[in-house]
Amino acid sequence: MKRTASLVMASALIICTFGSCSSKNSIIGKWEMQDLSDTEVKVGGLEFKDNGKGSMFMDTTSILHAEDKGIVVGSGEQAFKFEEDLINYDGKALDINIQGQDIITLERIDGKNSTDNYNGEFELKSGVMYDTIVEGIKKNASGGEDQDLTVHISFDGSNSEVTFVDIFDYKAEKGKLEISGYASFIGESSDGKAVNADFEIKDDVLKVTSAEGETEELVKVKK
């Protein structure tokens, strides 16, 4: 019995070593930063996954959201509501096409396939919005300009969130963080090499300090 218990404990330790177990001080999970410099996006952050991949997410409610059965794009005086009769939606595929111009094409990926509303998660496939979002991040982030991007959009009532899926790889060990791919959010990498930073986790707050000495604080997202 003791031998069996020892083998079970040893197996558990090996599994945790490879990142499948998260502790209070683990970097794995979603981390939110408030008051982004982009005034149209107030909340966003990073998600570190246990496979060494990372995603970036943004609350895009102010520039993209559902309203009744319509979809509002833009903000303020630039906002435009596409009414239900302009939206082609069969529960899985959603697109807005105006006079032959692809405004946005989405494909549901959560399996709900409901026509009652747009709540759920979609993959952004093409359209003017896709081009704008993808070109925007390629312009403002270094290290992954040639990388194909997978973009997910989640609708929840009148809220929306955009996620750039697996846009960076990372290693985190003993307070040192290395990120490759779209890595300019923690430092400059004009030659495309990995960016290094120091990190510290305390009371659900993640502090990341770049080589230039700039510190960004992120708060753990509660599930």
Model confidence at 147, pLDDT cuts 50, 70, 90, reads: low
Model confidence at 1, pLDDT cuts 50, 70, 90, reads: very low
pTM of the model: 0.79
Contact 48, 166 (CB under 8 A): no
Q: Has residue 75 got a pLDDT over 90?
A: no
Which residues are within 8 A (CB) of 107 and not within 5 positions of it... i.e. 6 or more apart?
A: 92, 93, 94, 122, 123, 125
pLDDT tens for each residue of 7-58:
333 333 333 333 334 455 799 999 998 655 554 555 788 999 999 999 989 8
